[in-house]
Structures are given as C-alpha cells and as structure tokens.
Amino acid sequence: MVEGFISRGFRGRRRQPNNAQLPPGQYETKGFPVLSAGPTPHVPLSEWDFTLVGEIDEAKRWSWEEFQALPSEEITKDIHCVTKWSKFGTRWGGVSVDTLLGNVETSAAYVTAFCDGGYTTNLPLEDVTGGKAWVAYAYDGEPLEPAHGGPARLLVPHLYFWKSAKWVRGLSLLSHDEPGFWESLGYHNYGDPWREQRYQGD
Amino acid sequence: MATQPRPAAQPGRLLWRVGEVFEVVEETPTTKSLVLSVPGWEGHKAGQHVDVRLTAEDGYQVQRSYSIASAPEDERLAITVDRIEDGEVSPYLTEDLMAGDGLELRGPIGGYFVWERGLGGPLLLVAGGSGVVPLMAMLRHRAASGSGAPAKLLFSSRSQEEVIYRDELERLAEADEKLEVVHTLTRSQPEGWEGYARRIDEEMLREVAPSPSEEPLTFICGPTPLVEATAAALVELGHDPAGVKTERFGPTGG
Amino acid sequence: MDEQLKLDGNAAAGSLGEVFPFEMTMAEVVCDHCASENFVGALMVYQPPMTLGTVVRCPGCDNVLMRVVHNSGHYWLEMRGARHLRIPDGSSVAAGEAAAEE
C-alpha cells in the first residue's frame, strides 16, 4: 500500500448520481456482465432435470418437458451483483419456487441450491418462498443463454446476484444452514444489497 | 473476534510502489508503451507481468495486469497497453497518462510463462495482437543477452497499421539470421501483400513452426480463441503439450 | 464467448503471491479428483472482476484445486481439491538454466 497515492485525473467510470433505485455502493450498467467461476456446462435438455431433495417426505423430480409444463410467470426486477454493478428492469420467465414447493411437506428452514459444475449457494427457506424466488429459463423473451445460466438459473433478485445460481439443477431442503461456494469463503451468508452485506461481518 | 489482536502485516514480495512515467511511445493508433522509472526495481524475467492499480480521489480503485515489454537488460521498465473501447483502465493509461505522472504498480509477477537465455531454444513464439508484448520482452532479452537460440515469431494482427513493434521487429530480424518474423494480417492487407492473410491454422503452423523433433520451447499469447486454436494445432502436429506454454487474454474490462 | 473467462495459471500469480512467500506458478499441484499433476502456471484460472474470487481449476477434470478471496482484512484460502503442492523454495538454480550453462 502506497499511502495516499492518487492517480492524477483518474475518476473511474463507476460514478453514479444519487439514485434511489441503486443500493449503496452500486453503479448502474446497461450491459449484462457475465461472471463465472468455472467452465460453462452444456447438459442436453434430454438429460436435464430439476429435483427437490433433503428434508422432504418424497424427493421430487421434473424432466425439462415436465418443467416447461408447470405454470410460468413473467418477472421484471432489478438485479444487483456484489462486484458493484446493478441492472434495472431485467425481464425473466420461469417457475416460481412456490409452485415447486406447492404441496411439499418439510421441516426445513434452509435451502441449498445445487448446480451443474458443482456451484452451491445457501438461502433461508423464507427467502425463496412467498413470491421472492424463481427458477428462470427465459430472459428478455428468449431462452436463457448458457453464459447467463441457461438452460435454467435460480432468480432471487432481492439478494446479491451470486445467490441467483446459474445452471441450477435443484434445491436441497435442510434443517441447518450450510454455507455455499462463496459463503464459505468470506462472502456474506445472507447478502442483502440494501444493507450492503457483501462480506462476513458487514 | 473484533477484539483479537491482529498480527502485523508481513511485507511480502508483492509491494505496491509508485513508478514515474518517463516516456509515452505510440506503437500503433490504439497502442502505447509506457516507459517507467521505478525506484528500487529489482529486475524481472522476460514474460513476467506487473499489476497496475489506479486510485481515484475518493479512494475508488481498479487493478489490471500488464505484461512487461522491456528486456531485463533495459534501463527502464516498459509496459505496452492496447486501448480497449469502453475500458476503464486502458483509456486512462493510453490517453490521460503523461510523462512525469506517477503510476502505482507491483511486481514482477509470474514465473511459468518465462524465457531466459539459459533455457536455450529453439523458440517458437505465437502472438495475437497485443499478445506480442511478453514475447517481445523475450526477443529483446534474446538480442540483448547475445543468445544464439534460433527463434521464430508468428504474429497475427488485423492490419499492417495495427502491427505492434513493426519497425523494431523488422530491424531485429534483419540483423539476425537466426530470428524469423512471420506476419499474418487477418482483416486487411496492404497492396502487394504476399504474406499470410488468414487466422493462424494448422497448415500455417506446419509451414512456420520448427518440427516437433526439434523440441521447441513454445510460448503463445493472445485472445483465447487464437491461443486455444494454436495450442491444439501444435499438439495435432505432434508437439509435446508440456513444451507449449499459453497466456490467454482475459476479459478484464480493459 | 463465455469460455473466454478462462485464464491461464499465470493469471493467479498475483493473488497467490499475496498469500504465499514463493513464486507459485512454478509450484506443482496434484489434483485430488483425477490425480493429474501440473504446474500452477498450466492450470485454469477464473478471477475477479469476472468472478468473486480467484478460482484455480484442474485443466484435465475441471476440479476446483484452490480458491483465494481477500476481503475485510482477511485472506480466505481453500485447497480441498489439491492433494498436495510441491513448491520450489527458490534456493536452487532452475534445471534448465544449469543444463544450458554447461
């Protein structure tokens, strides 16, 4: 650390006038940056399924066709990445997690989303129910691109976007909380952008 | 947790320090070399990089890696920066920074993608665009150290105007019969161009590269598609993958 | 274009150099999943700003070998996927140099 060094004339493009739509520390982007911690999985739709496992009476499984036949919703939400970009008014299509959990009996209080490629992220059950989370397979009216998590990703827009796991394949319902890929390595366990919960201790 | 005493930071090898811009050299319309005086610089190896960090007045920081362009023998450290449209760091480095300005950096960093005279040859260097920078450090080191290792550079650029270090490469090759520089111009070619005019492919590598039996030390640097196509083609031609070192450009946001 | 997020092991030299006192790209690492052995410089790396931390993967099987995150005054290092590391301590001349000087 060189104390007090300032790069003459450098401002950085990430300046934003005060904007009530932006959580603290965020800037708006019009693009849609692709973030990934690994190679993009390419699972044929004929082999894709979505499962609910863990603390439920009976595990549930949907094939891609069965999943497409579930009632779908159009969702328009702002999204906020912990790397400080936010994108307003993103349009998604997919199935509400409420629909998936519809008649499942569970004593679980937490869920861990699991994905192709091995990524995981953990959330309180109450943050994926009550109209707050979806499994999205469409973006802007088109099938979700693999780079952005297609064929399907979790969408939990009220939390930092690393919780919206790409290439999601199912939810594990748990009675205890189990920190996921980034949550176990210093990132905040809950990740509320409005309270700027980026890292442990925030 | 908060009441625990913190161990004092151990100053490691990677200390940030401030270099001074000695000179800015235009290499191509979009590419500039920054020649830096760095107090206390302990030297580097050809192929290593530095991290550059920019700090705004409100404390906002961004960091990028840049390959070192200068030879270890050179008096000053140089990096060569290609301006990326919509980038955050490269436009500042190529357009705003002037001689006399300070630039915060740390390094040298890396030890794998490195060539030193003692490693010998023959050398096969394959570059795409500004991927030539660490390979230029190797060629400059090769010349400055009097290495007699045979070397070939296969260099892919979009057009002749965009060939970085064009004049210096020509001079180096003219002065040295063991160095061969082969260009391919993928987008536009000057009138009368007789060289390659397509992306690097297996056929081109068969014509240019030393044979696998010569066991060349191979360094490939450039955009990911070029690096992967070149490495795959070389292995296909019978080169030992262990002799092929790669450095992909990342989507750093410029 | 998504595959272009992948970098070479050299790209992790900076973040690994903040944690280890050695030049880590010349360290050899054995993958706990497929047992292949590679120089760190030859591994695959995903790193900020294109992801949330430095993620080092096996080029053979994609297994995560090392992860490094630096935030809030701490380094986090996770290496479950690496069976072991063999790190040159910098005390001996590289074999290649010795051979060529003979």
Q: B55 vs A8: CB contact, 8 Å cut-off?
A: no
Cβ of residue B176 closer than 8 Å to a chain C Cβ: no
Q: Per the domain annotation, does B1 fall within a domain?
A: no
* Residue at A31 is within a domain: no
Contacts of A124 (CB under 8 A, 6+ apart): A109, A110, A111, A177, A190
The whole-number pLDDT of residue C72 equals: 84
Residues B100 and B127 in one domain: no
Q: Report how far residue C3's alpha carbon sits from residue B41's, in angstroms, rounded to the nearest whole number.
A: 36
- In this structure, the number of other CB atoms found within 10 A of the CB of residue B65 comes to 20
Q: Find chain A residues with C-beta within 8 A of B1's C-beta.
A: 201
The pLDDT score that the predictor gives to residue A2 is: 64
B6: which chain A residues are within 8 Å (Cβ-Cβ)?
A: none
Which positions in chain A touch B57 (Cβ < 8 Å)? 6
pLDDT at B250: 64
Q: B124 and B77, same structural domain? A: no
Nearest to B77 by CA among B137, B148, B3: B137
Please tell me the distance from the alpha carbon of residue A75 to that of residue A86, in angstroms, as a whole number: 17
Nearest by CB to C74, from A36, A38, A186: name it: A186
> Tell me: the pLDDT tens digits for B10-60?
545 688 999 999 999 999 999 999 999 999 898 999 999 999 999 999 888
Structural contact between residues A89 and A80, judged by C-beta atoms closer than 8 angstroms? no
Which pLDDT band, with edges at 50, 70 and 90, does B251 fall under? Answer: low
User: Could you give the angle at which helices B166-174 and B132-144 cross, rounded to 10 degrees?
Assistant: 30
Q: Are residues B127 and B100 in the same domain?
A: no
Output the pLDDT for position B4.
Answer: 58
Q: How far apart are CA B227 and CA B91, in angstroms?
A: 25
Q: Report the pLDDT value the prediction gives residue B12, as an integer from 0 to 100.
A: 56
pLDDT, tens digit (0-9, with 9 covering 90-100), for C62-76: 999 999 999 988 999
Q: How many CB atoms lie within 10 A of CB A31?
A: 8
Average pLDDT over residues B231-248: 96
Mean pLDDT, chain B, integer? 93
Asked whether residue B95 falls in the same domain as residue B164, the answer is no
**Whole-angstrom distance, CA of residue B35 vs CA of residue B132:** 17
CA distance A103 to chain C (A): 36
Name residue, tokens 């400059």.
B140
Q: Which of B75, B109, B143 is the last residue of a domain?
A: B109
Chain C's closest residue to B48, CA to CA, is C10
B187 interfaces chain C, CB cutoff of 8 Å: no
Range of the domain at A128: 41-195
In the sheet that C44-46 helps form, which strands lie side by side, from edge to edge? C7-8, C44-46, C54-57, C64-71, C74-78
CA distance A115 to A120: 6
- Number of CB pairs < 8 Å for A and C? 65
Domain boundaries, chain C: 2-89
Q: Count other C-beta atoms under 10 Å from residue A176's C-beta.
A: 9
B156 and B187 inside one domain: yes
> What is the model's pLDDT at position B252?
52
CATH code: domain of residue A72:
3.90.420.10
Sheet containing strand C82-86, edge to edge, reads C37-39, C28-31, C82-86
- B192: tokens are 């009368």
CB neighbour burial string for A1-14, b if at least 16 within 10 angstroms, e if fewer: eeeebebeebebeb
Per-residue confidence (pLDDT) for residue C1, from 0 to 100: 40
Identify residues of C whose CB sits under 8 angstroms from chain B CBs: 3-11, 13-14, 17-18, 21, 23, 25-26, 39-42, 47, 49-50, 73, 94, 96-101
Mind listing the pLDDT tens digit for each residue in B179-219? 999 999 999 999 999 999 999 999 999 999 999 999 999 99
- Say whether both B150 and B234 belong to one domain: yes
Per DSSP, the residues of A109-165 read SEEEEEETTS-EEEEEGGGSSSSS-EEEEEETTEEPPGGGTTT-EEE-TTS-GGGS-
How near does any CA of chain C get to the CA of A141, in Å? 20
- Cβ of C51 within 8 Å of Cβ of A118? The answer is no
- C-alpha C66/C-alpha C12 separation (Å) is 10
pLDDT in tens, B79-104: 999 998 888 899 999 999 999 999 99
- Arithmetic mean of pLDDT, A104-118: 95
**CB < 8 Å to C3, chain A:** 39-40
pLDDT at C102 over 60: no
Any domain includes B82: yes
C17·B14 Cβ contact <8 A: yes
Query: What is the domain count for chain B?
Result: 2
pLDDT of residue C2: 47
Contacts of residue B78, Cβ cutoff 8 Å, sequence gap at least 6: B33, B34, B35, B36, B68, B69, B70
ipTM of the complex: 0.91
Asked whether the beta carbons of C82 and C32 are under 8 A apart, the reply is yes
Contact check, Cβ <8 Å, B96/A14: no
At residue C76, the pLDDT reads 96
* C-alpha closest to that of A137 among A44, A42, A68, A52: A68
**A34, part of any domain:** no
Choose from B52, B60, B94 for mutation: most chain A CBs within 10 A: B60
Please give, rounded to a whole number of angstroms, the shortest distance from the CA of C56 to a CA of chain B: 14
CATH code (residue B137): 3.40.50.80
What does the alpha-carbon distance between residue C27 and residue A146 come to, in Å, rounded to a whole number? Answer: 34
Question: What pLDDT is stored for residue A18 in this prediction?
Answer: 67
Q: Which residues of A touch C (CB under 8 A)?
A: 33-40, 82-83, 117-118, 146-147, 162, 182, 184-187, 198-202
Mutate one of A1, A29, A32, A36 to test the C interface: name it (highest C CB count within 10 A).
A36
Nearest chain A CA: its distance from B215 CA (Å):
31
Chain A contact set for C44 (CB, 8 A): 39
The residues that bridge with A112 in the sheet, in sequence order, are: A122, A172
Q: How far is CA C73 from the centre of its chain?
A: 22
* Domain limits for position B162: 117-248
Judged by CB atoms closer than 8 Å, whether chains meet at B250 and C3 is answered as no
CA distances from A201 to A150, B191, C48, C52 (A): 33, 64, 21, 17
If asked whether residues B145 and B55 sit together in one domain, one would say no
Mean pLDDT, rounded, for C53-82:
95
Q: For position C6, what pLDDT does the model report? A: 87
In total, how many domains does chain A have?
1
Residue C70, amino acid:
H
Same-domain check for residues B33 and B126: no
Tens-digit pLDDT profile for residues A8-67: 999 887 666 668 899 999 989 999 999 999 999 999 999 999 999 999 999 999 999 999
Domain boundary, last residue among B61, B76, B109 = B109
Give a yes or no: residue B4 inside a domain: no
Give tens-digit pLDDT for B96-154: 999 999 999 999 999 999 999 999 999 999 999 999 999 999 999 999 999 999 999 99
- Read off the CATH number of the domain in which B24 is found: 2.40.30.10
* A147 within a domain of the structure (yes/no): yes
Confidence grade of residue A105 (pLDDT, cut at 50, 70, 90): confident
List the single residue in A10, A13, A14 with the smallest CB-CB distance to B55: A10
The residue type of B109 is I
Q: Is B113 on the interface with C (CB under 8 A)?
A: yes
Domain assignment present for residue B3? The answer is no
Residues across chain A: 202
Cβ-defined contact of C5 to B250 (cutoff 8 Å): yes
Residue appearing with tokens 């595959």:
C3
Å from A125 to nearest chain B CA?
A: 28
Q: Check residues B31 and C3 and name the one with the higher pLDDT.
A: B31
**Rounded Cα distance, C48 and C69, in Å:** 10
User: pLDDT tens, A142-196?
Assistant: 999 999 999 999 999 999 999 999 999 999 999 999 999 999 999 999 999 999 9
Which chains does C contact via 3+ CB–CB distances below 8 A? Answer: A, B
pLDDT of C36 higher than 50:
yes
CB B158 within 8 A of CB B222: no
Note whether residue A9 is domain-resident. no
**Is the pLDDT reported for residue C93 higher than 60?**
no
Specify whether B237 is located in the same domain as B124.
yes
Alpha-carbon gap, residue C43 to C33, rounded angstroms: 14
E strand or H helix at B65: strand B61-67
**Contacts A5 to B, Cβ<8 Å:** 18, 55, 102, 104
Residue A184: predicted pLDDT: 97
- The answer to whether C41 contacts B51, with C-beta atoms less than 8 Å apart, is no
Q: Give the integer Cα–Cα distance in Å for A148 and B18.
A: 39
**R_g of chain C, CA atoms, integer Å:** 14
Q: Are residues B87 and B182 in the same domain?
A: no
For residue A6, the chain B residue with the least C-alpha distance is: B55
Q: Is B179 in the same domain as B104?
A: no
Q: Which chains share 3+ C-beta pairs under 8 angstroms with B? A: A, C
Where among B64, B92, B109 does a domain terminate?
B109
Task: Note whether B136 and B221 are within 8 A (CB).
Answer: no
Which of the residue ranges A3-17, B71-85, C3-17 has the most confident prediction, judged by mean pLDDT?
A: B71-85
Pair B93, B160 in one domain? no
| For residue C98, pLDDT beyond 80 | no
The span from the CA of A119 to the CA of B100, in Å, is 47
DSSP3 helix / strand / coil % (chain B, rounded to 5):
25, 30, 45
Instruction: Check residue A103 and give its pLDDT.
Output: 82
